[in-house]
Amino acid sequence: MYSPSMLRRFFCFNAAASSSSIAPSSSTTTITSKKKSLVFLGSPQVSATVLDALFNASAAPSSSFEVAAIVTQPPSRRDRGRKVMPSPVAQYALDRGFPSDLIFTPERAGEETFLSNLRALQPELCITAAYGNILPTKFLNIPPLGTVNIHPSLLPLYRGAAPVQRALQDGVKETGVSLAFTVRALDAGPVIARERVEVDDQIKAPDLLALLFSEGSKLLICKLPSIFDGSAKVNAEPQDDSKGLICPFFLVERAKCNLNPNTRASMISPEESWLSFDEEALILHNKVGQEPELNSNNHNILELKIITTRVGSNDKIRDNDVHDIAFIKDALVFPCGGCTDLEVLEVQLPGKKVTSAAAFWNGLRCQKLKTL
C-alpha cells in the first residue's frame, strides 16, 4: 500500500486487466525474459497512437522487446464535468489491460521515488512522445540505449513546444517528423531518421499533429531494430545548431508575429492568439483556430474563435466601411490588409459548439459586425 504522500506524488491507477488485451499481465512482466525492456512516456491522445504501435509490435512473435512500464502526466480535471481523469495515454493503456501498477504518473520526472522505481525495471530504452515533462540527467542516465523522442518537425527546424502551430503560421508547404536521441538541450539530440509530409492548405493543427505522430509511430517501429542493436546511435546525424538557433521570442501589438522557421517553436501565448486584420488574408489563414475581437453595431465586443477559413478570391463587392464583415454565399468575409479577404466557413462562440458561418450569421438577426 502506498502512503497518502506517496499517492499524491506517485499515483498508480487501479483497474482490472482485460482478458482480451494483448498487453502483459503483472505476473508475466516480473518473470525474467529475453526480451528487451522498453519504457514509454507520453500523455495526450496523439501519444496513444505511438503506444498502440508499440503494443502491437511487441506482441508479434518475432518481437525482441516488451513495454515494461508507461510514464504519463498525473490525472487532471477535464471535460465539462471537471472530473479528475487519467491522461489519454493512461486511459488507453488501462483499456488495453496494461497493469495499473506499471503506469507511473509523477508530477516531475526527477522525483527520487519515481526514479527508484524506474531503475528497478532496468529499462534498455525509453521512448517519449509528447510526454510534457522535462527529463533530468538522472533520468537520461538510466536506460543504457538512451531515450528516443518523436518530435513533430524536421529537426533542427521548429524545436520546442509548438512546432506544428508555428509551421502552419509560417505557411510551410512541407514539414515532417523526426526521431532523435534526447539530450539536456531542447530537441537538440542526434537525429536517427526523418519522415517528410506535405502540408495541405486546409489542414488544421490538430489534424496535422495526429498525422505526424501516426507517421512517427511507423518510423519508430521501422527503426527500433537498429536502435536496439546500437547502430542507430552510431549513425545518428548531429543537428546543425546554426539552423536551429533558439532566437528571442517577441510580440508586437495585437499579436503580429514574424518568426523565422529556424527559431525555437515557442508556446502560443494568450496575447498572440488574437488576430489582427491589418495583416493579409493568407497570413491569417495560417493562424486558424485563434480568436479575433469583433464589434457589433450595438457596441458589444464579441469574441469569436475562427475554425475553418480559406483565402478570398478578391472579387467580392464590399459595401460601406472597410471594417464591415459581410456574408457572401457560404462564408463570412473579413476585410484584411493589402486589400485581401479572409473567408470564414466555421466559427465558435465561447462555451458553444462549432457552427457554420451561415448559422452564425442567421443568429445575428440583422446586426452588423465590424473588425476592431
Claim to verify: residue 113 and residue 8 sit in the same structural domain: yes
Cell of 71: 510514464
CATH number for position 168: 3.40.50.170
Spatial CA neighbour of 298 closest among 349, 369, 358: 369
DSSP conformation class of 239: P
Q: Report the length, in residues, of the chain.
A: 372
C-alpha 14/C-alpha 94 separation (Å) is: 9
Q: What is the pTM of this model?
A: 0.69
CB count in 10 Å sphere of residue 354: 12
What's residue 13's pLDDT? Answer: 43
Claim to verify: residue 65 and residue 130 sit in the same structural domain: yes
Range of the domain at 315: 274-371
Claim to verify: residue 213 and residue 292 sit in the same structural domain: no
What's residue 224's pLDDT? Answer: 98
C-alpha 48/C-alpha 244 separation (Å) is: 28
In the chain (372 residues long), the average pLDDT of successive 10-residue segments reads: 38 38 45 80 96 97 96 84 87 97 96 97 98 95 98 93 82 94 94 96 87 98 98 96 52 30 46 57 60 52 76 61 76 80 82 84 73 60
C-alpha 328/C-alpha 310 separation (Å) is: 13
Tell me if 281 is assigned to some domain. Answer: yes
Tell me if 182 is assigned to some domain. Answer: yes
Claim to verify: residue 77 and residue 182 sit in the same structural domain: yes
Q: Which long-range contacts (CB under 8 A, 24 or more apart) does 301-307 make?
A: 301/372, 302/349, 302/369, 303/349, 303/350, 304/347, 304/348, 304/349, 305/347, 305/348, 305/349, 305/350, 306/275, 306/344, 306/346, 306/347, 307/204, 307/345, 307/346, 307/347, 307/348, 307/354
What's residue 111's pLDDT? Answer: 96
Claim to verify: residue 212 and residue 327 sit in the same structural domain: no
Claim to verify: residue 161 and residue 298 sit in the same structural domain: no
User: Distance of CA 312 to CAs 66, 268, 356, Å?
Assistant: 52, 26, 17
Tell me if 237 is assigned to some domain. Answer: yes
Tell me if 9 is assigned to some domain. Answer: yes
Tell me if 258 is assigned to some domain. Answer: no
C-alpha 339/C-alpha 336 separation (Å) is: 6
Q: Which amino acid is at 5?
A: S
DSSP conformation class of 317: P
C-alpha 105/C-alpha 41 separation (Å) is: 10
How many distinct structural domains can be found in the chain?
Answer: 2
Claim to verify: residue 229 and residue 289 sit in the same structural domain: no
What's residue 234's pLDDT? Answer: 97
Claim to verify: residue 225 and residue 318 sit in the same structural domain: no
How many helices (H) and strands (E) the chain has is answered by 11, 18
Claim to verify: residue 61 and residue 173 sit in the same structural domain: yes
Claim to verify: residue 236 and residue 94 sit in the same structural domain: yes
What's residue 1's pLDDT? Answer: 42
Beta bridge partners of 245: none
C-alpha 207/C-alpha 261 separation (Å) is: 20
What's residue 321's pLDDT? Answer: 58
CATH number for position 344: 3.10.25.10
Claim to verify: residue 99 and residue 179 sit in the same structural domain: yes
Tell me if 268 is assigned to some domain. Answer: no
What's residue 276's pLDDT? Answer: 58
Tell me if 226 is assigned to some domain. Answer: yes
Claim to verify: residue 216 and residue 306 sit in the same structural domain: no
Tell me if 261 is assigned to some domain. Answer: no
What's residue 318's pLDDT? Answer: 53
